[in-house]
Amino acid sequence: MNPQKSSLMSVERVLIDGKWRVSSGSQIFQSVNPATRLPLPREYPVSPWAEVEQAILAAARASRAVRDVPGEVFAKFLERFAERIDARSGEFIATANQETGLPVEPRLKIAELPRTTNQLRQAAAAARDGGWSLPTIDTKTNIRSRLAAIGPVVVFGPNNFPYAFNSAAGGDFAAAVAAGNPVIAKGHSSHPSTTRLFAEEAFEAARETGLPPAFVQLIYRTSHEDGCRLVSHPAIGAIGYTGARATGLVLKEAADRVGKPIYLELSSINPICVLPGVLEERSDELAAEFSTSCLMGTGQFCTNPGMVLLLAGPQTESFVNAVRAKFESAPIGTMLSEGVLRNFESSIQALVAAGAEVLTGGQTGGGNGFSFRNTLLKVTGEKFLLSPHALQTEAFGNSSLFVIAKDEAQMLAVLDALEGNLTGAIYSAKDGQDDTLYSRIEPALRVRVGRLINDKMPTGVAVSPAMNHGGPFPATGHPGFTAVGIPASMRRFAMLQCYDSVRQHRLPPELQDKNPRPGLWRSIDGQWSQADVG
């Protein structure tokens, strides 16, 4: 996927300012089928800065054009977009399967594509309702406020979710659009054809619903320098990024220098605490549940359980051995790309260098294409505490690290040494014998994770209004926001607008005395109400 010089006319077009146009860039790249290690035939451009800036300025014009557009219009766009995706689902599934190696069933067809259209429809419902904007009215001071669109949003999608987090259709896209913002989708180099299909359907849905032609734009790749210029451009409102920590922090530094809000999902090892009582109750069942979760999708989930904390003892040793046996007998999956495989191997080596023992796996190969043997590692609590940072290296793939604490005090010390994570789980006995220990460790884990889980694995992320797919650094760039869960995820891409003594007819409809929509909740003098003012 390294950029190459091109003089060919077969390079795919970028979507800029309402037109599919030939890129002015001189470099191209191709995605690679990870199951065969062979490049796919389509060629894609690396956009130069002049082209990127054209997209930014077009997005700024589109943002001004939709400033007073009601949420109903964005809702119709999102619903029509979802319909168009459903109508073309066969092509989406075949394309993503080639570009990512992810299985057609159940992953792409049964799970991820329906989830993606579902979250588009949920975002549409929130845009139509309008309550996400938290209209607030103080009649005594005649001050009124709401959240409203922040301006053009740049979305960087990851490699591991070609649909649900895609820059031209995923959660950040849906949230940004539902809040009323144009989107510049920066495609991921691992699945550019999948992203192009989404952009084609989004472009047509925008045309059909009367949104500006530049409301959705697509560039596939930029230089690192131009990526930083993109996120720090004065016309950009906000940025959503899901991907590697190192790249995300470079973009964050560029955005922070000019005060641009950037929302990052970076890395997480998602610790699981397994208490002694649960091993007495259902050790074999738990070994199967954990192995399935850890190896699902070749472990390439941001919520993959990458660390398990247990207390030393015979039952723990029996549990570890049972998991090792399941890892050794399970199929070895295909990794998303050569880069993912290379980084995974490097991470395993870093864990071993820090003191972890390889129980099984630890070597490349064994499966189709880019593959690495299912890997299980172990370290004592004492060794973990000597090198806590290195032993929290995220190994993004089919592996996990068992940390064996000698006693409850050491278990607490390990938890106190944890970095921030998206999730943290505690498995405890159903009969209550673990409740005392649970009450001691839960407070330590609670402040280090965005989502606390009991007695289930973290790999599923429901699209629910109550979901938090976020957490303390380095899981994300800010612990107060979520990338999943509507309407909360929409508020990342909004600004708080206050109106002080502004005349009624000049106010946005939701801040006027008369409630503009049945069922719209507004805070009026501290009370949530659906009534008119006074």
- Phi–psi pair at 360, nearest 5 degrees: -160, 155
The rounded distance, in Å, linking the Cα atoms of 186 and 167 is 6
Given the structure tokens 């929509």, which residue do they identify? 517
The rounded distance, in Å, linking the Cα atoms of 59 and 54 is 9
Catalytic residue among 79, 99, 265, 510: 265
Residue 325, SS3? Answer: helix
Say how far residue 112 (Cα) sits from the centre of its chain: 13
The answer, yes or no, to whether the previous bond of 271 is cis (omega within 30 of 0) is no
The answer, yes or no, to whether the previous bond of 182 is cis (omega within 30 of 0) is no
Catalytic (active site) residue 204: no
CB 475 within 8 A of CB 108: no
Tokens representing 435 are 């409740």
In single-letter form, the type of residue at position 426 comes to I
Alpha-helix runs per DSSP H in 301-453: 314-329, 338-353, 381-386, 408-416, 435-446
Residue 439, SS3? Answer: helix
Catalytic (active site) residue 265: yes
Using alpha carbons only, how large is the chain's radius of gyration in Å?
A: 24
Tokens representing 394 are 């995220």
The answer, yes or no, to whether the previous bond of 487 is cis (omega within 30 of 0) is yes
Given the structure tokens 């006074």, which residue do they identify? 534
Contacts of residue 339, Cβ cutoff 8 Å, sequence gap at least 6: 1
Catalytic residue among 273, 302, 419, 510: 302
Tokens representing 491 are 């508020």
CB 152 within 8 A of CB 235: yes
The rounded distance, in Å, linking the Cα atoms of 397 and 135 is 44
By CB atoms closer than 10 A (0-12, 13-18, 19+), residue 245 is middle
The rounded distance, in Å, linking the Cα atoms of 20 and 25 is 14
Annotated catalytic sites, by residue?
A: 265, 302
